[in-house]
Chain A
Amino acid sequence: MKTNSYDLGVSGSIIFFPEKERTRYRPVMKDEEGTGVSRAVFWRLVEPIKLRLYNFVLKSLNFATDADDVYQETVLRAFQYFASFRKDKDFQSWIYSIAHNEIKNHFRKSRRQTASPNIEALAPSPDDRTEALVREVFRFAARLKPKEREVFFLYYESGFSIPEIRRITSLKEGYVKLLLSQARNNLKEALGAHHG
């Protein structure tokens, strides 16, 4: 680190840090309550992604009623640990990795697959053909293992790229690619059959 020091001639010197170094030590997200975390900043960051996050959790859990609890736990946990969130990281990936852990914990605790989705009750579809295709996609997703289903929805529901999914789930990139390729091949047949 290059610093410029100026001799005061008496008993000390002033050290000037370069601008880049100074910003690194800048305190992060102090708020008026002095808690070290700006609640307002957190909610502002959550707001645009919360619907997609909720749907990701919901679909990863096969529309189980526990999904609300898992989503709640995700947001609260993110809020609690927001102080340790580094500003140079992507907030969306960070909160999704928390969601990923919560989903994993949920399956570990329950040790069972959640029930198959009741697509008929959930989907207000514009037409019969679309409804049949949507049903086919979610039936396929319901048959996947929890980890595979998460990857599937991270890609198709949340729109993450493969490297981002790797970072969120800590799975190998090749494995993520393989899962998506398998999903694509399976759905190609299923959707192709519906397309005629």
Chain B
Amino acid sequence: MDDDKILDKEITRLVRSLEKSIPPGLEEQIALKASSGKPRRSPFFIKWQLALAVLSGGAALFLALFLLWPAFRKQQEPQITEIRTQFELVDKNITIILIQKPDFKFFEEN
């Protein structure tokens, strides 16, 4: 481990011994370009903003649809659930009522 540290120090010394200074023209060029350009937000930040806008837009649309759904919903056709047919035999004082239902079954067993 100590050998590694010594070697690391030696490599660092050798690597750093070769150092080049920044060309002055390059620094001026950077400063010039930086002063003309406007600071921007990072693409990551823009992505988040975009994602937030899309999400809130989607949420607003969902809410609007949810609230307006009853107005747009088609009225249901009234369903016939039963048919009643009534006969009256007045002379015999009898009333016969026939009730028809969709789930009516003859000989239904319990």
Say whether A associates with B: yes
A79 near B20 (CB under 8 angstroms)? no
With contacts A76-B37, A80-B39, A81-B41 taken as known, whether A119 is within 8 angstroms of B18 at the C-beta atoms is yes
Q: Mark A129-161, 1 if CB is under 8 A from B, else 0.
A: 010011001100000000000000101110100
Nearest chain A CB to B1's CB is how many angstroms away?
12
If over half of A's interface residues share one DSSP class (helix, strand or loop), that class is named, otherwise mixed; here it is helix
**How many residues does chain B have at the interface if contact means C-beta atoms less than 8 Å apart?**
29
Complex partner residue of A76 from B18, B19, B34, B41, CB under 8 angstroms:
B34
Answer whether residue B82 sits at the interface, using C-beta atoms and an 8 A cutoff. no
A126, closest chain B residue (CB)? B17
Number of A-B residue pairs having CB atoms within 8 Å of each other in the complex: 90
Residues 18-60 of chain B, each 1 if its beta carbon lies under 8 Å from chain A, else 0: 1111110010011001100111111011000000000000000
Q: Which one of B4, B11, B29, B45 contacts A156 once the chains associate, using CB atoms below 8 Å?
A: B11
Question: Would you list 23 pairs from A and B whose C-beta atoms are within 8 A, ordered by A residue?
Answer: A37-B39, A50-B22, A51-B19, A55-B16, A59-B15, A68-B23, A72-B29, A72-B30, A75-B30, A75-B34, A79-B39, A80-B38, A83-B42, A122-B18, A122-B20, A123-B18, A125-B17, A130-B14, A137-B14, A156-B16, A184-B7, A188-B7, A191-B10
Mark B residues whose CB is within 8 Å of A. Answer: 4, 7-8, 10-12, 14-23, 26, 29-30, 33-34, 37-42, 44-45
